[in-house]
Amino acid sequence: MRNFIIALFIALPNFLNAQSNSNHPQLVVGVVVDQMRPDFISRYWDKFGSGGFKRLINEGFNCKNTQYNYAPTHTGPGHASIYTGTTPSYHGITGNDWFDLVAMDTVNCVSDPKVTSVGTTSTEGNCSPSRLLTTTITDQLRLATQMKAKVISVSLKNRGAILPGGRSGQAYWFDGLTGKFITSSWYRNDLPTWLNEFNDRCWADEYLSKPWKTVFPLKEYTESDHDDSPYEAPFTGEGKPIFPHDLPSLRGTRYDIITDIPFGNTMTKDVALAAILGEKLGDDSITDFLAISFSAVDHIGHQFGIESVEMEDAYIRLDRDLSDLLTFLDNRVGKNKYLFFLTADHGAPSNPIRSRDLKLNTGIINTRNIQDTARYFLKMKYGKEEYYRCRIKEQVYLDEDLITKDKLSLCDMSFELGTFLKKTIAGLGETLTSCEMESNVYSDMLKSRIQNGHYHGRGGDVYLLYLPGWTEPIAGVNRNQGTNHGSPYSYDAHVPLLWYGRNIPNGSTHHEVNITDIVPTLSFLLNIPLPYSANGKKIDELIK
């Protein structure tokens, strides 16, 4: 009897661990929708089928008050924060682009001149996660399983695929020159067989061979503005931004236009399904991870705005893509054997000119005026306009080396410049300097969010906080058309967060949840360590 008890005592930890592991999902699927607000679900609810958003809401768990706790709210920082469980002040992805003090040039958040393209001769593959300064939940899953867990990340955008996959996963993104999904030498030296087979099908050609028509009759899109709206930008070569959009005649010789239409999301779903089959994701007891970023709706929002029929039709089609994805997971992995979550990297405001015409206090920032005014002030106050280096989105960069050489104070100059810009630039509400953010801790929500988005050496010397509803114009789009994002305000910071599947209760919460809380929750659900810099909190309502 004593020997039996001793043997049981020795075996018990392994038995309990086996029981714990058996409760893990076989596959985690993380979906990020690029530019989505929670109200899109209720706005388009009656147009959705039963298997997509409605299934996630009715059978899963809805965190209704999920917020970005930092700014700027852009694609790169959003994907990095979702998967690291921390803010740009720790993971270092402060924007899609920033000025690099080593390269002395503007760099992209995933650009990497040390790697080469795989699957294309273009430079679209010269990318990697090397600029990400901490681990992701996908890295931690790999580490916790002695690198046996498979991590695959797919998106049309390179940053939408690379940042969720972390430093140890596999990432694949779309090349607008060839119409194929590619990768870089950071990950491997050739494309996997399943992706070559997918690319050989020439899906992009198929989706661009027919016009973009609405799913339902145009008159039924009562949740949106009228189709021929002055607040929307037409495609290049198109007279008006109205349906149907003649894709075969608009596409030209490249494939870029597929990133601007809902079929780009459908193709992303298709490559995700091919990855599940090709990589045998979820086929064994070791939890795998599939990260999917649907980025076409972001391009559509930028071009047409969030009140457009195009945006509504894109979400109707995305709902069908989600339904296809969930049904496939049911059949392939098994219902209740996978864990699924959906969120967004940022929201978006209404078109500022449309809002202004409706008598709201909104507008378009004259970004050229920011540059000219800054140079004028520095010339008049300090004798040199060359102290101004550049502006990237909401951030102004000064030439610190020149300022130091001339024995001037960067902190004083930044503060005085910010104060002058506040007084002279229409739509500019507040400015914060890098020096201020590095020497203060803010309790004010907006300032705190800006501070959480700042990383020394990458962020600008002066951060520009525009008034609510004011945005920068869209590059390549008429300054009065489409929409933009990046602010700490609710229209950009409030996003959906839906959970579904293995170990997920049915219900909802109105408690405030930060975007950085997703990773700690996943860590508890998977029983793996947190990423190195994660500082969010687990969502208690989801942890049984």
CA-CA distance, 466 to 385, in Å (whole number)? 24
The answer to whether 346 and 78 are in contact (CB under 8 A) is yes
- Amino acid (1-letter code) at residue 116: T
Question: Under DSSP, is residue 318 helix (H, G, I), strand (E, B) or coil?
Answer: helix
User: Distances from the Cα of 364 to the Cαs of 354, 385, 484, in angstroms?
Assistant: 11, 25, 10
Burial of 65 (0-12, 13-18, 19+ CB in 10 A): middle
* C-beta separation of 265 from 318 below 8 A: yes
SS3 assignment for 101-137: CCCCEEEECCECCCCCEECCCCHHHCECCCCCCCCCH
Nearest residue to 297 via CA among 468, 160, 450:
160
Detail the DSSP E strand segments found in 314-354: 338-344
Cα–Cα distance, 63 to 118 (Å, whole number): 39
Residue 375 corresponds to which amino acid? R
- Distance CA(195)–CA(18), nearest Å, equals 34
Q: CA 234 to CA 184: how far, in whole Å?
A: 33
Among the listed residues 66, 73, 75, 134, the single catalytic one is 75
- Per the annotation, the verdict on 75 as an active-site residue is yes
Residue 508, H or E segment = strand 507-514
Residue type, 6: I
User: Catalytic residue numbers?
Assistant: 75
